[in-house]
Amino acid sequence: MTNHIFQFNQVNRLILKDVNFKVNEGERLIIFGPSGSGKSTLLHLFNRMDDPDQGEIYFQQQLINDYDIPQLRKKVGLVLQQPHLFPETVLDNLKFGPSMFDEWEEERAYQLLNYVNLPKEYLTKPVEELSGGEQQRVSLARTLANKPDVLLLDEPTSALDDRNIEAIEEDLINLIEQHSLTVVMVTHSMDQAKRIGTKGLFIDEGQVIEFGDIAQLLETPKTEELKNFLHKS
């Protein structure tokens, strides 16, 4: 029997209306839809960057509001479109999360850099000396430092060039498989959705229009809304 790690029941928030779905452990859910449809609002509900006005969200069969927020965000890590790193060294950024829980291990530093294909010499580099692609890699490594069960990705490659997109996607897929991570990702790229996702959730005007296997959604859409969206993409 497949265990669901997240469950949304009749969730309403801002534009979102009566959102219902489950995410199973190990799935890679892609949230996609037109601009302003509620994608980021939905993503931010997964780790309480935002809370519903109505409805219930369960994480690992427990009401999400019952979790201590720092503990929840340790388990459900978020990587944003822009890196938002602290203006210090790479090491300072990597150790920040685990140090809050007194869990930082010095030997983890090189391991984390290795995960995202950065040389160990980068540990002492100030983050402002890094390129955009390197900063996004550090942002990903900083999230992984907390050993999350779930990785939330809010268009993490949209600000990068094709070469960096390809490299970071490769790192992501390796990490997801290596750590058996559950992934929830917002993307505007249907090519990226196919490469990374296993499940898809198409949202339009705050409502879930189609939900299911990502390949089936993209190849044989059932609704006019999804057909029109894919035609324009």
Sorted by where each begins, the domain ranges of the chain are 4-85+149-232
Q: How many CA atoms lie within 13 A of 158 on its CB side?
A: 15
Among the four given CATH numbers 2.60.40.10, 3.20.20.70, 3.40.50.300, 3.30.1360.20, the one describing domain 4-85+149-232: 3.40.50.300
The pLDDT assigned to 176 comes to: 86
Structural tokens at position 180: 């058996």
Quick one: DSSP state of residue 126?
A: B
Q: 4-46, pLDDT tens digit by residue?
A: 899 999 999 999 999 999 999 999 999 999 999 999 999 999 9
Residue 164 burial (10 A CB sphere; 0-12, 13-18, 19+): middle
Q: 97-126, pLDDT tens digit by residue?
A: 999 899 899 889 999 998 888 999 999 999
Report how many helices (DSSP H) and strands (DSSP E) the chain contains, helices first: 9, 10
| Paired sense of beta strands 207-213 and 54-59, if any | unpaired
Structural tokens at position 119: 């040389």
Binning the chain into helix, strand and coil, the percentages to the nearest 5 are 40, 25, 30
**For residue 154, which phi and psi values (nearest 5 degrees)?**
-105, 90
The pLDDT assigned to 171 comes to: 81
Instruction: Identify the CA nearest to 206 among candidates 40, 59, 78.
Output: 40
194 or 3, which is more confident: 194
State percent of the chain over pLDDT 70: 98
- Alpha-carbon gap, residue 14 to 137, rounded angstroms: 32
The pLDDT assigned to 162 comes to: 76
Quick one: DSSP state of residue 89?
A: B
161 or 193, which is more confident: 193
Q: 194-224, pLDDT tens digit by residue?
A: 989 999 999 999 999 999 999 999 999 999 9
- Local confidence band at 90 (pLDDT 50, 70, 90 cut-offs): very high
The pLDDT assigned to 164 comes to: 76
Q: Are 20 and 190 in contact (CB under 8 A)?
A: no
- pLDDT at residue 3 is higher than 90: no
- Local confidence band at 174 (pLDDT 50, 70, 90 cut-offs): confident
- Alpha-carbon gap, residue 164 to 172, rounded angstroms: 12
The pLDDT assigned to 163 comes to: 76
- Alpha-carbon gap, residue 2 to 25, rounded angstroms: 7
The pLDDT assigned to 51 comes to: 95
**For residue 47, which phi and psi values (nearest 5 degrees)?**
-130, 25
- Local confidence band at 2 (pLDDT 50, 70, 90 cut-offs): low
The structure's pTM equals 0.91
Q: What is the side-by-side strand order in the sheet with 28-32?
A: 76-79, 150-154, 182-186, 28-32, 199-204, 207-213
Q: Are 194 and 214 in contact (CB under 8 A)?
A: yes
Q: 58-68, pLDDT tens digit by residue?
A: 999 999 999 99
